[in-house]
Amino acid sequence: MREMGFHDRVFDMLDERPLTKSELRDFCSLLLGDAHMDGIPDPSLDWAGFMRKLDAWLKLKDEAPEQWVS
Given this model, what pLDDT does residue 63 score? 64
Amino acid at the residue 69: V
Given this model, what pLDDT does residue 31 score? 82
Percent of the chain with pLDDT strictly greater than 70: 76
What's the rounded mean pLDDT across residues 19-35? Answer: 87
State whether residue 6 is helix, strand or coil. coil
Q: Which residue has the higher pLDDT, 6 or 25?
A: 25
Query: CA-CA distance, 56 to 34, in Å (whole number)?
Result: 16
Mean pLDDT for the chain overall: 80
Nearest of 13, 18, 21, 27 to residue 48 by alpha carbon:
21
pLDDT band at 3 (very low <50, low <70, confident <90, very high): low
**pLDDT greater than 70 at residue 65:** no
